[in-house]
Amino acid sequence: MNDNKNEAEFNSVISDEMRKKIDELATYFDSIQIFATKHNGDEFGTTRFILGNGNYFATVGLIKLWAKEQSIRDIVIEEDDE
């Protein structure tokens, strides 16, 4: 139980720090989104942090572009392996 409490406290601190950075950067950008993962060991899986601020449509457009670029990169890497 104590591990869960420590983990929850850690996650809260990390989320607060991410929000502070997002607020700092928000004066410079239309949209900011942070996706982060933290492996918690084999028993506890992975914790994800998804935080952001700004123009929803800009965020969605950027995510779509990123996903497309990742897909193209993965296809190129697979072709190079053959």
For 11-51, the pLDDT digits (tens) are 999 999 999 999 999 999 999 999 999 988 777 788 999 99
Residues 27-64 as b or e (16 or more Cβ within 10 Å = b)? eeeebbbeeeeeeeeeeeeeeeeeebbeeeeebeeeee
The letter for the amino acid at 39 is H
pTM > 0.85: yes or no: no
Report the C-alpha gap between 3 and 39 in whole angstroms.
Answer: 14
Give the bridge partners for 79, in sequence order: none
**Residue ranges of domains in the chain:** 2-81
**End-to-end alpha-carbon separation of the chain, Å?**
49
For 59-68, the pLDDT digits (tens) are 999 999 999 9
